[in-house]
Structure 1
Amino acid sequence: MSSTFIAPTIASLFPGGLPLWLRAYDGSVAGDESVPYGLEITSRRGLAYMMTAPGDLGLARAYVAGDLVLHGVHPGDPYEAIARLKGHTGFKIPNPAKLAGLVAALGVGNLVPPHPPAQEHLPAWRRRAEGMRALTSWGRHSQQRDADAIHHHYDVSNTFYEHVLGESMTYTCAVFPTPQASLEEAQENKYDLVCRKLDLKPGQRLLDLGCGWGGMVRHAARHYGVKALGVTLSREQATWAQNEIKRQGLDDLAEVRHLDYRDVAETDFDAVSSIGLTEHIGVANYPAYFAFIHDKLKPQGRMLNHCITRHDNRGSAHAGAFIDRYVFPDGELAGSGTIVRAVEDAGLEVQHHENFREHYAKTLAGWCRNLAENWDACVAETNEGTARVWGLYMAGSRIGFERNEIQLHHVLATKTVDGVSGYPLRHEF
């Protein structure tokens, strides 16, 4: 390999040019070093990651493994650097002559894929192959496979989440009543808005699907006198939520079960909330999911679906390679119109539809700030690679919301029977 070659060679692959400086372990440099943000490839393994999985996945592997360093930012909040890289990581395919030169210059050995970092989940094709024996009517979203995916993402460590999410232990978009509101105030406001949209009253029954650490269940029980049942596929979440319910003395009203929502036996709920679950169930399963909710509601009951959406209804629902392998295995996103159609086709009447895109960008900024401020504790609780995954994922997601690549929608609907919805002439929340 010729000396002082790696950095300019890799920089040439970035479409539109590299917006940061790049330094490599051979001493080569590319880009404007006066810019405060840069990349450093520290090892041959890092180079091999980038060459064998060009683009987001290779860069992420090298970064998570510690073979690619981001300069000028904290690993807990790499927002400023990622914002400059966004849109530049789809590596160009060089012409045949240049490709041959790259292979010769960088070395054939760097075309042998290193073993991925421990934080990486199996790729989708491997999960499909290994799940063929367990196929059900839900396809790849069998109960066991969904449980495995949830375990991968949510059973990291409750203490880790306490550091990142803050006191609310809420891992969904907050709703900021004012631009200056704190993250805790915004999360409290979100739960209260959902309760008001559902028109909860003392003595009613609420089913919260994918309840996480039980924030919605506790809020509805404490402030609205509702008998609330939450279910989650994460054992760690359920254990934490059950303990917190006891600590707050809400045992008589609030309950959280470690349970697949499909196994909930009770019916005739006054309201169903689904906050951050639809992303996990698969677009093909929307009809069955909303039919399930329809069947769980009593006549004139209300449903509130809160989930991340795409900015249109045309693109692929599948997440990119990094998100699929490191964050949300089997996760899928659709446009809000796709969700509204599925809700209506299930026999529910949509009453209100609202976008909180900018609120999620602010929420993610708060989580990144918490991760950076509690970095040492988060690394000690998990490991540096896992903490790097979270910083990268949250900063990248923040950019996606800011640039309207993804959104967050509430869809409020009623189980209307014989033309009677129980809904007022105008919204009262």
Structure 2
Amino acid sequence: MVELRFHGTGDGHPATLGDLIHTVTTGELPMRITAFDGTDVGPQDSPVRIEVKNRRGLDYLLTAPGDLGIARAYLMGDLEVYGIHPGNPYQAFQLLKSGVSTRRPKAREIADLAKGFELHKLRTPPLPAQEAPARWRRRLETKVPATSKLRAARAISHHYDVSNAFYEKVLGPSMAYTCAVYASDADTLEQAQERKFDLVAQKLALKPGMRLLDVGCGWGGMVRHAVKHYGVTAIGVTLSKEQASWASAAIERDGLSDHAEVRHLDYRDVPEADFDAISSIGLTEHIGVRNYPAYFGYLHGKLAEGGRLLNHCITRADNKAGARPEPFTDRYVFPDGELGSPSQVIGACHDAGFEVQHDENLRLHYAKTLAAWCQNLQDSWDFCVDEAGEGTAKVWGLYMAGSQFSFEANWLQLHQVLATKVGPEGQSSYPWRPDWDPSPSVS
């Protein structure tokens, strides 16, 4: 490794971004990085180039090292990424996450950098409008814990009450913001989303006349599919006013109002009980790992004996990482969200009284789903920017492309857990073998 010699940090000259990069990385950089201070490192012929345009952009990187500082500078226009589309920056994540080797600087190097950057004078620049406060500040501002219904409603609103028109472009006609299920590479996103809803319906063994509760129902896709194709009566609940409004209009448009309903309501406030089936598609991520016991206990109490629960959620790949998301995701995407491991989900489900019958990992299906959403955002970029603002559109591009890479790298997984409510003496209505088609056909 080449010994670093800063531009005279010992004699009063400032350090550069290039000094910082060389101090914390080893080997060849996978992309070219330039900056206002003369920095020009990495391969000159790289298809992707990052430029830090001014001192404020550097200050973002110095005050929040890692993904959060990069995102702040990018969203504020002080950092530009050339060679990628802002709606689909997947290639940049590939290069950064899989091609940069980091090292821990020595104490002397840290001291030189601190002096060269005059860190004693450093102040955090203004934050992007899309950024939520840190967790500790959110608790102080609301004066309530993350488990409260008020805090849950605010977190859901931050993510989902952006613009229904924006989501229509990104998600497509299905308006399904959860992992689709592909039978082959040839499937379209819409076919895969319909297959997902049908797989959930079959795992729940839905039949005409049954009653379904869909918690965290989003824009009502599962509710409408179950009523239309399986003849059930379904109630969906969501904490997003925008989702509930859109879903209610879609139910009326499809002529399903006699058997389908979506309410703007916390799932814990549903008064009905003895449902034959419960679907939870993408809600567990918002619950918090410590609240898994209460969550699964509540759903267990809402099911009739012999009823089935299908819990579909993002998980960590193992128990080694903490449950809290990275700072960027926590501040910009899912405030108060947490991701447990598959074993934590299944364990809490068992402890609540359920008997887990089946678990399926759809990790690569979610990577393909996210790639389709990124392409939709790229294709509809001008509309999405006009509708939600460039900053918000950039956030969603970063989040979805980064998530695609995370699922491909097996940092994240997507598990569907099917469980049943057994009788007081252990009675089970579950058949000897699974009674669903593992890859249902779609029209």
Q: TM-score range by the shorter chain?
A: over 0.9
1:166 offset after TM fit, Å?
A: 0.5
1:420 aligns with 2:420: no
| Partners of 1:215 and 1:110 in 2: CA distance | 52
1:329 matched residue in structure 2: 335
Structure 2 distance, partners of 1:134, 1:74, is 40
Separation in structure 1 between the aligned mates of residue 234 and residue 118 of structure 2, nearest angstrom: 61
- Which of 380, 386, 393 is the aligned partner of 1:387? 393
Task: Please name the residue that 2:131 is paired with.
Answer: 120
Residue from 254, 260, 265 that aligns with 1:254: 260
SS where residue 12 of structure 1 aligns? helix
The 10-residue stretch of structure 1 (322-331 or 81-90) with the greater mean CA deviation from structure 2: 81-90
Matched, 1:273 2:284: no
Q: Structure 2 residue aligned with 1:242, among 225, 238, 248?
A: 248
Match of 1:168 in 2: 174
State the match for 2:80 in structure 1: 69
In the superposition, the TM-score normalised over structure 1's length comes to 0.95
Change (3 A) 1:384 1:4: farther
Aligned residues: 424
- What SS does the corresponding residue of 1:426 show, helix, strand or coil? coil
Q: 1:267 to 1:89 in 2, by over 3 A?
A: farther
Q: Distance in 2 between matches of 1:424 and 1:233?
A: 35
Tell me by how many angstroms 1:97 deviates.
3.2
CA distance in 1, matches of 2:168, 2:340: 30
Note if contact 2:26-2:101 (Cα within 8 Å) is conserved in structure 1.
Answer: no
Aligned-residue offset at 1:174: 0.2
Percent of pairs with identical residues: 57
Q: Indicate the residue corresponding to 1:102 in structure 2.
A: 113
Instruction: Name 2:68's counterpart in structure 1.
Output: 57
1:43 maps to what in 2?
Answer: 54
Counterparts of 1:155-234 in structure 2 under 5 Å? 155-234=161-240
Q: Deviations over 1:238-259 (max 9, x none)?
A: 0000011111111011100000
TM-superposed deviation, 1:382? 1.1
Q: Determine if the alignment matches structure 1 residue 282 to structure 2 residue 315.
A: no
8 Å CA contact 2:23, 2:109 repeated in 1: no
Q: Which amino acid aligns with 1:134?
A: V
- TM-score, normalization: structure 2? 0.92
Deviations 1:338-370 (A, max 9, x none): 111111111111111110000000000000000
Quick check: 2:20–2:113 contact (8 Å CA) kept in 1? no
Q: Label 1:110 to 1:85 Cα distance change in 2 as closer, same or farther (>3 A).
A: farther
Q: Hey, what does 1:358 align to over in structure 2? A: 364
Deviation at 1:93, TM superposition (A): 5.3
Partner-residue secondary structure (3-state), 1:216 = helix
SS at match of 1:272: strand
Select the residue among 71, 80, 83 that pairs with 2:94: 83
Compare 235-244 and 38-47 and name the one that shifted more: 38-47
Give secondary structure in 1 for the equivalent of 2:20. Answer: helix
Contact 1:273 1:304 in 2 (8 A): yes
2: CA distance between counterparts of 1:118 and 1:257? 30
Alignment deviations for residues 359-386 of structure 1 (CA, whole Å, 9 cap, x no partner): 0000000000000111111111111111
Note closer, same or farther for the CA distance 1:110–1:187 as it changes in structure 2 (3 Å cut). Answer: farther
Separation in 2, partners of 1:372, 1:9: 35
Is the 1:46–1:67 Cα contact (8 Å) retained in structure 2? yes
